[in-house]
Amino acid sequence: MIDFFTESHSAQVVNSRMGPVVEPRLRMVMESLIKHLHVFVKDIELKQEEWDSAIEFLTQCGQMCSANRQEFILLSDILGVSMLVDAINHRRPPQATENTVLGPFHVDNAPIREYGAAISLDGKGESCLFEGTVKDLFGQPIEGATLDVWSDNADGFYDVQQTGIQPTWNNRGRFVTAADGKYRFQGIKPVSYPIPDDGPVGQLLARLGRHPWRPAHMHFLLTAPGYERIVTHTFVNDDPYLTSDTVFGVKESLIQNFAPTPTESTKWKAQFDFVMHQEASE
């Protein structure tokens, strides 16, 4: 044990101070955090005034947080950390549908709707029929899978961002598959929207020469007894922000084909099949 702090052994000195009785996972996480944090500071030789700015930035993020705003989640999102944590914790067989971030706009207990029902209730936007099949790894349809779906409206806002303006449960619903594994609902073609950029994270994005936009997407949360939960989006295939999602949520396999349907009552049709895999413990 080194008693006194030295630049060369800084991380070892800090880590050596932990007591003998520390929860093992916490010890592992903190030892790694301190090691990498010190390597970072040394790599760039962080200047005193840069450290001042970092303290000020973190403070501003914390003070921006409220019941309706989580600036540290936004920070994690734009640094790719949210997607990295999601990826690490949801490794799947290659055939299974990939995960992406849940996002801040999911609401529990959306109404259960009938096969083919509408979720768009405000009359805005370009109508789109979403349909497909929920299957297992062997291509067999899954009966009793629940698809919890949500998207923004044509103005780029979720209902919970505009309570009193949008109808309750606008562009939300839950659908349960029958024996054929099929789902179908009438929504709108989602539109791209910026993450809240009027705080310190927005200022950082601007200084990094990055825009705050997310490409248009439909959220899906799939559950089925015995299968691993899937939290994902499908992305509109002609969106200009597909390759520059500010939160890095896009995976190539999640880009959904939106086909115009000039002869039908719906303007667009979006076909996507989901593949679930069984839980590891089953």
Site for its own copies in 71-100 (CB under 8 A): 72-73, 76, 79-89, 91
Q: How far is the CB of 43 from its own copies (least distance, A)?
A: 5
Cα–Cα nearest to 187, from 235, 255, 257, 116: 116
160 binds its own copies (CB under 8 A): no
154 binds its own copies (CB under 8 A): no
CA distance 171 to 168: 9
Cα–Cα nearest to 221, from 146, 135, 162: 146
Q: How far is the CB of 21 from its own copies (least distance, A)?
A: 6
Q: How many residues does the chain have?
A: 282
45 binds its own copies (CB under 8 A): yes
Residue 163 identity (one-letter amino acid): T
Judged by beta carbon, residue 27 or residue 182, the one nearer its own copies is: 27
Residue 34 β-bridge partners: none
**Binding segment (CB under 8 A) for its own copies, from list 13-21, 105-113, 134-142, 176-184:** 13-21
**Residue 194 CB neighbours (<10 A):** 15
Q: Tell which one of 67, 179, 208, 280 touches its own copies (CB under 8 A).
A: 208
138 binds its own copies (CB under 8 A): no
**Residue 142 CB neighbours (<10 A):** 21
CA distance 190 to 63: 32
43 binds its own copies (CB under 8 A): yes
Instruction: Please tell me the count of residues contacting its own copies according to CB under 8 A.
Output: 76
The owner of tokens 């009027």 is: 198
230 binds its own copies (CB under 8 A): no
108 binds its own copies (CB under 8 A): no
List the structure tokens of 179. 């024996």
Q: How far is the CB of 202 from its own copies (least distance, A)?
A: 15
